[in-house]
C-alpha cells in the first residue's frame, strides 16, 4: 500500500468522532483530521500526529511485529516522551488502534509492561 492508498483508506475508515479503546485504560477520540494531521483527545489532553508519520511507521514495519517499544526506538521524537525533542507515548497506542481499525494489523497483544509491550502484527499485502 502506497502513501496515497493509505491516506484514502484512512479517510474512509477513521472518522471524526471515532473512539478507540486503549488497550490499558482510557479512550482516544478523533477530534479532527485536516491538513494531513489528526487531532485526537485522550482524557483531557489533545495530541496531534501526521498521517504521513502513521504511514511511515506502518510501511517500516509491514509484515512484522510492531510494538510500542519498537515505535519509541524508531521515532522517539514522535512516540517517546523521553525523546529529544519529546514525543508522547499515547501516539504509540493510537497508531496501533488505527492500524487495527483499518484492518492493516491484527488485534493488539501484550500487557503493556516492560518485557511484554503492546504490539500488533502488520499484515503484508
Number of domains in the chain: 1
Please name the helix (run of DSSP H) or strand (run of DSSP E) that holds residue 53, with its range, or none. helix 51-61
The predicted-structure confidence for 19-65, as pLDDT tens digits, reads as follows 999 998 899 999 999 999 999 999 899 999 999 999 999 999 999 99
SS (H, E, C) 21-34: ECCCCCEEEEEEEE
pLDDT, one tens digit per residue, over 65-123 is 999 999 999 999 999 998 878 889 999 999 999 999 999 998 999 999 999 999 999 98
Q: Phi and psi of 111, rounded to 5°?
A: -105, -5
Q: Which range marks the domain in which residue 99 is found?
A: 3-121
Rounded to two decimals, what is the model's pTM? 0.94
Amino acid at each position: 500500500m502506497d502513501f496515497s492508498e493509505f491516506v484514502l483508506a484512512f479517510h474512509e475508515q477513521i472518522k471524526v468522532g471515532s473512539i478507540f479503546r486503549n488497550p490499558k485504560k482510557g479512550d482516544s477520540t478523533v477530534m479532527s483530521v485536516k491538513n494531513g494531521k489528526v487531532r485526537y483527545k485522550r482524557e483531557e489532553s489533545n495530541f496531534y500526529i501526521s498521517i504521513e508519520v502513521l504511514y511511515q511507521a506502518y510501511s517500516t514495519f509491514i509484515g512484522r511485529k510492531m510494538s510500542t517499544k519498537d515505535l519509541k526506538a524508531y521515532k522517539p521524537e514522535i512516540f517517546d516522551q523521553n525523546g529529544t525533542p519529546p514525543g508522547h507515548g499515547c501516539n504509540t497506542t493510537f497508531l496501533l488502534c488505527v492500524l487495527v481499525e483499518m484492518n492493516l494489523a491484527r488485534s493488539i497483544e501484550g500487557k503493556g509492561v516492560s518485557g511484554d509491550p503492546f504490539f500488533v502484527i502488520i499484515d503484508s499485502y
